[in-house]
Structure 1
Amino acid sequence: MVTTLLVIVIILAIVFDFINGFHDAANSIATIVSTKVLSPFQAVCWAAIFNFAAYFVFKDHKVADTVAKTVFAEYVTLEVVLSGLIAAIAWNLLTWYYGIPSSSSHTLIGGFAGAGMAKAASLGLSAFAAVNFAPIIKVVAFIVLAPIIGMIIAVVINLIIINISKNARPATAEKWFKRLQLVSSAALSFTHGGNDAQKVMGIIFAALVANKIVAPGSPMPEWIPLVCYTAISLGTMSGGWKIVKTMGSKITKVTSLEGVSAESAGAVTLGITEHFGIPVSTTHTITGSIIGVGLTKRVSAVRWGITYSLVWAWILTIPVSATLAAIVFAITHYVF
């Protein structure tokens, strides 16, 4: 039976997906805006189109399944999902306000896990009894691995492109790289949509299972991916300019050639991790890729002070989101 609380949970999940879109818009458009290939408005429209295009291709929902299994089913209630979403939305808005490109993915997973732990504790059990550590360990591992993989792939792609085009006329090369940036940014937006929209799909599906509307292991209702891809695309169109500035210029100055390398590396990394059902952070991945293209010039080309502050935000995201979710659960548990 559809309850008022379930409706609220679904609405909040869609709101989170929208916020995820404008929070992570910078990942796809930062370099293409900073190199002036497209205007900010053109860039967000371009990214939104390819965010939604992923709906027609990514049909296995492996990332959604991983997120849904972060907390064991017996501890998943609507109050748990609600608390995780409220915490995730709060942290996303806070980091967006200060222009910090933190991970929406880790925010959502941390909030969901924290609320599940609070649920277990409320039953007099160990808080860790609620957490399925298999997917959590994969997520935590890729906090480190995703930016490193993105960085290595970006370095390789950048060096290959530099060697191929070393004899080209600078003006001609620049013209071609600006055209190629349209392709690389589209690929990044496409894989970003395929990876990130699935995380909210997993949360909504978990809420439906908790409310006994769908059975565990049953196919996902088609309206869920359609709504989630639409929400993240509309969110991307709304921008996220504070984070664009951080990603596009504060980490390192990016040329069109380097934009192609960074975006291509990010798209490849996201495509690989989606194939294996690993809910990685698009933010971490593209940040590592941008650092990689900076390193091909020289180590000093990367503004390490900014990078260190980003790393601290990444480290804090899961525990802070989990703590916020536990507090919200304590309040909602009392109310409901």
Structure 2
Amino acid sequence: MFELFSGLDFWVGLSLCLALAFVLAFEFINGFHDTANAVATVIYTNAMPPRLAVVMSGLFNFAGVLFGGVGVAYAIVHLLPVDLLINVSTGHGLAMVFSLLASAIIWNLGTWYFGIPASSSHTLIGSILGVGLTNALLTHIPLSQGINWKKATDIALSLVISPLVGCALAALLLFLLLKYSPLSKMHKTPDARRAVDGKKHPPFWNRLTLVLSAMGVSFVHGSNDGQKGIGLIMLVLIGIVPGKFVLDLNASTYQIERTRDAVMHINQFYQRNSDNLADFLALGKGLRSDTPERFKCDPKQTEATIGAVLSSLSSVKDYRDLSADTRAQVRRGLLCLDDTAKKVSKLPKLPARERSDIDKLRADLTATTEYAPTWVIFAVALALGLGTMVGWKRVVETVGEKIGRQGMTYAQGMSAQIIAMASIGLANTLSLPVSTTHVLSSGVAGTMLANRSGLQGGTVRNILIAWVLTLPATIALSAGLFWLASLILS
């Protein structure tokens, strides 16, 4: 880890430390901001003591980050268009990262202070969108190119659909429990069980289900939200010390050969489909790739880009054998080839079988550019895990008592948590960022409706207002901060 500071100017090194501290602070705040969503039901239902619940949740969040992979991390990173990712400079990268993180932290702290279960995912994504749009204005490129709108649309759909699905499925699960086991003690609230049965804890099997599902939610939360921090740190490292992080310097010879083979195979793919792709890629036109100050990916430069990447990787067994500039050029070429391949896969004339082949080649193209060092994953896991252990009380009360007109029953807690765990786990496998806050809160709301206990209008209104306002507020805040930072730098 510490070798990344070698050879750096003092001020660049200091900026790097501050940027990393900002990312870890965001993850720490994310931890205590979202922890209540994972432990609200087990604490409210007395299935676990509060201190034990948050400590166990912290440990499972930690484990979720360690074993979660980096798919969601780069889904977040690729909200920014590829042209911005390959042209980011040290000063530009610092302004970008500090602006989006400051925006996310300010909104997260504000909503936590008022006890509103707002989404850290919406907050971060809104901040990234604000930076991308402002960058488009500052660099005089169309707003349509300032953001990877296809990726933004996919993520927006996952953020909108997942709470609706969580609400419906949690309501359905509770309905089934009410229908097939209407007299069970799991349909009591903690207060009713204490008054009628004189017992503090839920029945054994209900308690076990609540505990296991809460830890499951913590694990998938760590996996999903932790990856967002990993993606941010990789943005920081690639922007500030690109020579050491543009490619995975620990990649094995086999991984490098796999990357080189993917470039060769994609060239063969284009030649094989030249009838459909010749015009789009300018195949056989002999166009030469230039290297202007601000490089721009162009599908018509694909053949030249393939040639440049293959030339750079010829006989390379270790990325450390390449100069820092060559590594940056290789990464730029690989990202451009991946971006072009993604556009090619959407062309209507391409047969379905060939579309499947190019999607597989894309995974090999980015095998050594979409990665994260072990210390990055561990640092994010530690920050999120520690953050989980504080700040939980404000939102627990909201989730347990203020969403419905009556307190939450054991069955409601079980239904909401089981559905949240399954929904977020599925999103992780699809590399889609979702909001733990919204999935669980909407699940609780769904169970309240299924239980016919009704909803508290004021609380639901505040949650919906936060849900609606988070994106525009963070877009505006990060855009303003990035514009101001860019003005100062210029």
CA distance in 1, matches of 2:57, 2:51: 10
Preserved contact between residue 28 and residue 387 of structure 2 (Cα < 8 Å):
yes
- Give the one of 181, 192, 211 matched to 1:182: 211
Is 1:202 matched with 2:231?
A: yes
Structure 1 counterpart of 2:60:
50
Preserved contact between residue 170 and residue 443 of structure 2 (Cα < 8 Å):
yes
Amino acid at match of 2:78: K
Task: Provide the secondary structure at the position in 1 that maps to 2:391.
Answer: coil
- Give the one of 14, 32, 55 matched to 1:22: 32
The 10-residue stretch of structure 1 (215-224 or 77-86) with the greater mean CA deviation from structure 2: 215-224
Indicate how the Cα distance of structure 1 residues 79 and 173 shifts in structure 2: closer, same or farther if over 3 A, else same. closer
Q: Which whole-Å deviations, capped at 9, do the CAs of 1:58-114 have from their partners, x for residues lacking one?
A: 22x211110010112432523112210111001111111111111101111111121
Instruction: Report the alpha carbon displacement of residue 210 of structure 1 after superposing the two structures with TM.
Output: 2.3
Instruction: Report the alpha carbon displacement of residue 169 of structure 1 after superposing the two structures with TM.
Output: 6.4
The 10-residue stretch of structure 1 (129-138 or 279-288) with the greater mean CA deviation from structure 2: 129-138
- Give the one of 237, 254, 257 matched to 2:389: 237
Q: Which whole-Å deviations, capped at 9, do the CAs of 1:5-26 have from their partners, x for residues lacking one?
A: 2322111010000000000011
Task: Provide the secondary structure at the position in 1 that maps to 2:245.
Answer: coil
Structure 2 counterpart of 1:320:
473
- Give the one of 233, 250, 254 matched to 2:408: 254
Preserved contact between residue 45 and residue 202 of structure 2 (Cα < 8 Å):
no
Preserved contact between residue 94 and residue 236 of structure 2 (Cα < 8 Å):
yes
CA distance in 2, matches of 1:71, 1:6: 21
Instruction: Report the alpha carbon displacement of residue 159 of structure 1 after superposing the two structures with TM.
Output: 3.0
Is 1:292 matched with 2:446?
A: yes
Task: Provide the secondary structure at the position in 2 that maps to 1:277.
Answer: coil
Indicate how the Cα distance of structure 1 residues 6 and 127 shifts in structure 2: closer, same or farther if over 3 A, else same. farther
Structure 2 counterpart of 1:82:
98
- Give the one of 66, 76, 91 matched to 1:67: 76
Structure 2 counterpart of 1:271:
425
CA distance in 2, matches of 1:303, 1:135: 35
CA distance in 2, matches of 1:208, 1:169: 53
Amino acid at match of 1:197: G
Structure 2 counterpart of 1:13:
23
Preserved contact between residue 166 and residue 420 of structure 2 (Cα < 8 Å):
yes
Paired residues for 1:210-225 under 5 Å: 210-211=239-240, 212=242, 213-215=244-246, 216=331, 217=366, 218=369, 219-225=371-377
Preserved contact between residue 46 and residue 202 of structure 2 (Cα < 8 Å):
no
Task: Provide the secondary structure at the position in 1 that maps to 2:116.
Answer: coil
**Which structure would you say has the larger Rg?**
2
CA distance in 2, matches of 1:315, 1:167: 39
Amino acid at match of 2:114: Y
Structure 1 counterpart of 2:123:
107
The 10-residue stretch of structure 1 (214-223 or 84-93) with the greater mean CA deviation from structure 2: 214-223
CA distance in 1, matches of 2:62, 2:81: 30
Task: Provide the secondary structure at the position in 2 that maps to 1:278.
Answer: coil
Q: Identity across aligned pairs (percent)? A: 31
Amino acid at match of 1:103: S
Preserved contact between residue 143 and residue 314 of structure 1 (Cα < 8 Å):
no
Amino acid at match of 1:18: F
TM-score of the superposed pair, with normalisation by structure 2:
0.65
CA distance in 2, matches of 1:310, 1:110: 17
CA distance in 1, matches of 2:116, 2:146: 30
Preserved contact between residue 23 and residue 240 of structure 1 (Cα < 8 Å):
yes
> Tell me, which stretches of 5 or more residues in structure 1 are unaligned?
none
Preserved contact between residue 66 and residue 381 of structure 2 (Cα < 8 Å):
no
Amino acid at match of 2:436: T
CA distance in 1, matches of 2:439, 2:403: 14
TM-score of the superposed pair, with normalisation by structure 1:
0.93
Q: How many residues align?
A: 334
Is 1:334 matched with 2:487?
A: yes
Preserved contact between residue 175 and residue 451 of structure 2 (Cα < 8 Å):
no
> Tell me, which stretches of 5 or more residues in structure 2 are unaligned?
6-11, 86-92, 187-196, 247-330, 332-365
CA distance in 2, matches of 1:162, 1:52: 35
Q: Which whole-Å deviations, capped at 9, do the CAs of 1:133-187 have from their partners, x for residues lacking one?
A: 1221122223321111111221232233344544656779733212221111111
CA distance in 2, matches of 1:222, 1:177: 38
Preserved contact between residue 33 and residue 39 of structure 1 (Cα < 8 Å):
yes
Amino acid at match of 2:212: V
Task: Provide the secondary structure at the position in 2 that maps to 1:301.
Answer: coil
Q: CA RMSD in A?
A: 2.0
Indicate how the Cα distance of structure 1 residues 208 and 7 shifts in structure 2: closer, same or farther if over 3 A, else same. same
CA distance in 2, matches of 1:116, 1:169: 52
